Amino acid sequence: MTESDNDLTQLHQWVNQKSKEGAIAIVSHKNGDMDTIGSAVCLASLIGPGAKACGVYVSKVAKRVLADVGGSFHLMDSNKPMWPRTLAGIIVVDCASYSQTGLQFPSGIPICVIDHHQGGSDWDGAELVICWEVSSTTEIIHRYVQEFDLMMTDKCATLLLAGIITDTGRFKHANGGSFIAAGELIDKYSIDYAAFIESIERDELNHSQKMAIAKALSRLESIDAGEWFLLHTSGSTNEGVVAHSLLSAGADVALVVRRAEDETRLIGRASRSAVNDGIHLGNIMSELCKTLGGEGGGHSGAAGWSGDVPTITARSGFISALSSIRRD
């Protein structure tokens, strides 16, 4: 039995035990992307009626896919979350730290974490933490289904595939396991891949996204950060869309800085060629946790950090860390 197999066995035992004791909440992270929402809804379906997928936000793409497949997800009030009276356990999916859930958990409730991010974590109090070096959390859920030959609906298979596709940037940041998992889902559940991709990508940029890009471009700065061509700017909304547009403009690495309330956020994206040449944004953001505090991490080509420091301090820290990396 491999370490991964042992993780899944522990997960299965944990789920079975808590299901006997009461309800289980499957909590997504507060950004509500397709990977976290797909993982939560699918896992809740696998566990049964005693489990509920929930969180504070569902992204536009995730909301559309949920509507297409008829998935059930409960939106919670971050200020006054309502938990089941019979709550026996909480499973957190695709979330590197407690604060990223955007919720206050009831005290004394056992916690299980299923994640794939590299970086800082504050899950020391969790009963079970499963964190694999895969490209998406939905891949772990897929492996769980396979390991115990669980009955999964076509709806859930579609959600898992959507999570893999979106979290790997349409496979730009995928590894071999991502392609294998996607292929198995497509084949076993007869998913029309071309039609599915069209359904995910059918929306053009809305007015808000176009305005966010335009404003960010007006503040754009370029710099040779060591051996890397960096485009960086500040933004207030749609940071991911803005960062992607900077990569399309030719950046090796794109950085969007945002100040919101008492927090500075960094959103980073790297081109596939930069990743192949040695960039791992998740590691850079993790290093910032050590030097600046806060929390951060992510993938090689997409990562983020947040903390209570001035924007210039966060930006300078990122540029310094990026500049120290040599091309392979």
User: Comparing 326 with 295, which gets the higher pLDDT?
Assistant: 326
Q: Given a cut of 90, is residue 40 above it in pLDDT?
A: yes
pLDDT at residue 77 greater than cutoff 80: yes
Q: What is the mean pLDDT of residues 36-56?
A: 97
Q: Mean pLDDT, to the nearest integer, of 314-324?
A: 96
pLDDT at 85 over 80: yes
Determine the pLDDT at residue 157: 97
In percent, the amount of the chain with pLDDT more than 70 equals: 95
Letter for the amino acid at 297? G
- The answer to which of 36-50, 199-213, 260-274 has the lowest mean pLDDT is 199-213
For range 312-322, the mean pLDDT: 96
Percentage of residues of the chain with pLDDT beyond 90: 66
Q: Beginning with the edge strand found earlier in the chain, give each strand of the sheet holding 51-55 in spatial order.
A: 74-75, 51-55, 23-27, 87-93, 111-115, 128-131
Q: Are strands 295-298 and 118-119 parallel, antiparallel or unpaired?
A: antiparallel
Q: Which helix (H) or strand (E) holds 150?
A: none
61 or 174: which leads in pLDDT = 61
Distance of CA 319 to the CA centre of its chain: 23
Q: What is the pLDDT of residue 203?
A: 57
Helix (H) or strand (E) holding 254: strand 253-260
pLDDT in tens, 96-136: 888 889 999 999 999 999 998 765 556 888 999 999 989 89
Q: Is the pLDDT of residue 3 over 70?
A: no
Calculated CA dihedral for residues 41, 46, 48, 54, nearest 10 degrees = -20
Residue 214 has pLDDT above 90, yes or no: no
Per-residue pLDDT tens over the stretch 219-266: 899 999 999 999 999 877 778 778 888 888 899 999 999 988 788 999
pLDDT at position 202: 62
User: Exposed (0-12), middle (13-18) or buried (19+): which is 187, by Cβ within 10 Å?
Assistant: exposed
Q: Which fold has domain 209-323?
A: Diaminopimelate Epimerase; Chain A, domain 1 (3.10.310)
| 276 contact partners, CB below 8 Å, separation of at least 6 | 328
Considering the chain, tell me which residue range(s) the CATH 3.10.310.30 domain(s) occupy.
Answer: 209-323
Length of the chain: 328
CATH 3.90.1640.10 residue window(s) in the chain? 3-201
N-term to C-term CA, the chain: 35
Integer Cα distance of 76 and 242 in angstroms: 28
Question: Mind giving me the DSSP string for 82-118?
Answer: ---TTEEEEEEES-SSGGGG-SPPPTT--EEEEE--E
pLDDT of residue 122: 67
Q: How confident is the model at residue 143 (pLDDT cuts 50, 70, 90)?
A: very high
Q: Residue range 49-70: average pLDDT?
A: 93
User: 3-201: what fold?
Assistant: inorganic pyrophosphatase (n-terminal core) (3.90.1640)
Q: How confident is the model at residue 197 (pLDDT cuts 50, 70, 90)?
A: confident
pLDDT value for 1: 38
Distances (CA, A) of 39 to 33, 177, 257: 10, 17, 28
| CA distances (Å), origin 226, targets 88, 109, 223, 252, 264 | 51, 47, 9, 11, 24
Question: Bridge-partner residues for 253, per DSSP?
Answer: 230, 270
**Residue 127 DSSP symbol:** S
